[in-house]
Amino acid sequence: MAINKLFARRALKAQPSAIREICKLAAKTDVKSLAGGWPSGDTFPVEEVKQIVRNVLDEKPELALQYGTSEGLVELRLALAEWLQNRDGFECSSDQIMITSGSTQGIELCAKVFLEPGDAAFVGLPSYFGGIGACQAFGAHLVGVPLDLDGMVPNELEKRAAFAMEQGHRPKLLYIIPDYQNPTGAVVPLDRRRKILETASRYDMVVVEDSPYRDLSFEGEPFPPLMALDRDSRVVFLRSFSKNFCPGFRLSLLAGPEDVVRNMVIARQFEDACPDVFGQHVLLDFLKKGFLDKQIEKNRAYYIKKRDRILDLLDENFPKQVTWNRPKGGFFVFVHLPEGMSGMDLLDKAVKNNVTFVAGSAFFVDGGGTNTVRLSYSEADDESLEQAIVVLGRLLKEMIKG
């Protein structure tokens, strides 16, 4: 009856992710959702997947429906090593790659393998709470590092690392989303990437580079990943296939130093044993047939239009006291309301009008960002997007008038 009295302290502390809970709300009702960072179903390569699953089930059902190794299919890891070299400009062996069950698992494995309770973990201010939650789960002392329009500010990282050390916290891990950041959309320029790596090197930290939106660049090619600039093997690179392929098979790649990967593979044996094997065979064929690179081009074209559409709608509907960025890739517009206004208040009103989004404060480990809002333009269709922005514009004007 009272089994909950047996919960471990970590279970009592666990909080639901704001986004997952809001997405459940959005799924249940007729809500126009700008909340989740889910890709649009319109972009899914359905015809290609149909053809591939037929081949997979004709040719190797006894492999595709079986267990696999914890690190993932060797053929897939070999193909991905080649793909990474072409696409992201760095060499790595198949032993430096593992397939994780989403980048969520990649983040969790980084936290598990590196963090002792009290170690300082640095995250953007604001930053995606998947990274934050995983570090929290392993008892990290979380430190927010301010971002500006060019993403994480290297001097701020340096200052905070020094301060954490003074306070007795070992600076251990930096979690960073350098490309089209969640939630700000910011891109870290090349020189900053180098400076951030130098700081990480000086404090002997692991750098967890999470780049789910990397392939969704709207204006030219993205900068080289930190992984490609890293000179002393301290970067673990998480590269999801949820936004350039589809999320349904839960596939992501993790690349890092070989002994780190080996340790994560061991840790994984007591988490979920191995990634989805059927999905890996589908992704392998998708990659080998050259569909992945084509899909990336299609998705770029699709989401540029969505980005342009939301920017037009914001210009037309939002009051001039409200500001936002012009994302060069990814799924998000980050909105600043006038000082003193609250994103949570706007959300309360919006939900009553069947519109939802994520209040920016969910992304700030320091309790800040109360006047910010994350709008996702990835999933809503054009009509819902327009209706949602019109409603939000009206609510904002009412709130500003007071």
Within residues 2-61, the interface with a second copy by CB under 8 A covers 3-4, 6-11, 14-17, 20, 23-24, 27, 36, 38-39, 41-42, 44, 46, 49-50, 53-54, 57, 61
- Tokens coding 252: 């992501």
Stretch that binds a second copy, among 84-92, 148-156, 243-251, 287-295 (CB under 8 A): 243-251
- The answer to whether residue 274 forms part of the interface with a second copy (CB under 8 A) is yes
What SS3 state is found at 177?
coil
Name residues contacting a second copy, limited to 186-225 (CB under 8 A): 204-206
Looking at residue 317, its amino acid is: N
User: How buried is 391 (Cβ within 10 angstroms: 0-12 exposed, 13-18 middle, 19+ buried)?
Assistant: middle
How near is the Cβ of 30 to a second copy at its closest, in Å? 17
- The answer to whether residue 273 forms part of the interface with a second copy (CB under 8 A) is yes
Which residue lies nearer to a second copy by CB, 230 or 318?
230
Please name the residues in contact with 162: beta carbons below 8 A apart, sequence gap of 6 or more: none
- The answer to whether residue 294 forms part of the interface with a second copy (CB under 8 A) is no
x-marked contacts with a second copy along 130-159 as a string, rule CB under 8 A:
x--xx--xx---------------------
- The answer to whether residue 261 forms part of the interface with a second copy (CB under 8 A) is no
Signed CA dihedral, 123, 125, 129, 130: sign only: negative
What single-letter DSSP state applies at residue 141?
Answer: E
Bond prior to 275 in cis (omega within 30° of 0): no
Give the CA distances from residue 397 to residues 318, 319, 337, in Å, rounded to whole numbers and listed in that order.
Answer: 8, 6, 11
Task: Report the distance separating Cα 366 and Cα 259, nearest Å.
Answer: 34
The neighbouring-strand residues paired with 123 are 144, 175
Task: Report the distance separating Cα 367 and Cα 192, nearest Å.
Answer: 26
Which residue lies nearer to a second copy by CB, 4 or 86?
4
Looking at residue 253, its amino acid is: L
Helical axes 382-401 vs 291-317, angle rounded to 10°: 30
Cβ 97 vs Cβ 72: under 8 Å: yes
Task: Report the distance separating Cα 275 and Cα 252, nearest Å.
Answer: 9
- The answer to whether residue 242 forms part of the interface with a second copy (CB under 8 A) is yes
Name residues contacting a second copy, limited to 318-377 (CB under 8 A): none
The only residue of 30, 86, 220, 270 in contact with a second copy, by rule CB under 8 A = 270
How near is the Cβ of 125 to a second copy at its closest, in Å? 20
The only residue of 125, 254, 277, 310 in contact with a second copy, by rule CB under 8 A = 277
How near is the Cβ of 228 to a second copy at its closest, in Å? 17
The only residue of 55, 75, 83, 112 in contact with a second copy, by rule CB under 8 A = 112
How near is the Cβ of 16 to a second copy at its closest, in Å? 5
Name residues contacting a second copy, limited to 82-101 (CB under 8 A): 100-101
Stretch that binds a second copy, among 257-265, 330-338, 342-350, 387-395 (CB under 8 A): 257-265
The neighbouring-strand residues paired with 144 are 123
Name residues contacting a second copy, limited to 157-186 (CB under 8 A): 172
The only residue of 224, 247, 368, 393 in contact with a second copy, by rule CB under 8 A = 247
CA neighbor of 60 nearest in space, from 76, 44, 46: 76
How near is the Cβ of 401 to a second copy at its closest, in Å? 38
